Amino acid sequence: MDWWLIWLIVAGVLFVVEMLTLTFYLLWLGIGALAAALVDVIFPGAVLLEVIVGCIVALLLTIFTKPLTRRIQTGRGFKDAVDDLIGMRGTVIEDISPEAPGIVKVGGDTWSATSTEPIGKGESVIVVSRGSAFLEVNKWGG
């Protein structure tokens, strides 16, 4: 398989995942992969050059568009989809303890979750906040 095709597949996967996350970082990596594919078309077989060009393009886009993405994400009307989960009820799929995260089902999706108290499988919870990788939940008292 040609390297340009591999780079296009990588770029396509990164673009699809970016559409699901809306972080902009994967978008820049995808554009870097497209740049690597272009380098392979011009200089076939120069894999090291392709990787270097792809990394430089992604790094430059990340550095120079950081103010733009920050302005978009803090602008009026922007709301992260995960923020909508706060206040929603869910069900514990895998036990949660203060020492180890578990898994909860909220709104039809499964999420990693932490809690300050042990919560067993099958119990109802409410989402109280979100971290960078986990939802913070408490037992549902209602």
Q: What is the pTM of this model?
A: 0.54
Pairing label, strands 135-139, 89-94: unpaired
Parse the chain into domains and list their residue ranges: 3-74, 82-139
**pLDDT tens digits for 29-70?**
999 999 999 999 999 989 999 999 999 999 999 898 877 766
Identify the residue with better confidence: 22 or 101: 101
Q: What are the backbone angles phi and psi of residue 45, rounded to the nearest 5°?
A: 85, 0
CATH of domain 82-139: 2.40.50.140
Confidence of residue 72 (pLDDT cuts 50, 70, 90): low
How deeply is 69 buried, as exposed, middle or buried, from its count of CB atoms within 10 A (0-12, 13-18, 19+)? Answer: middle
Collapsing DSSP states into helix, strand and coil, what is residue 72?
helix
Identify the residue with better confidence: 134 or 71: 134
Sorted by sequence, the CB contacts under 8 Å of residue 14 that are 6+ apart come out as 26, 27, 29, 30, 33
The yes-or-no verdict on residue 114 having pLDDT over 70 is yes
Can you give the pLDDT at residue 130? 85
Mean of all residue pLDDT scores within the chain = 87
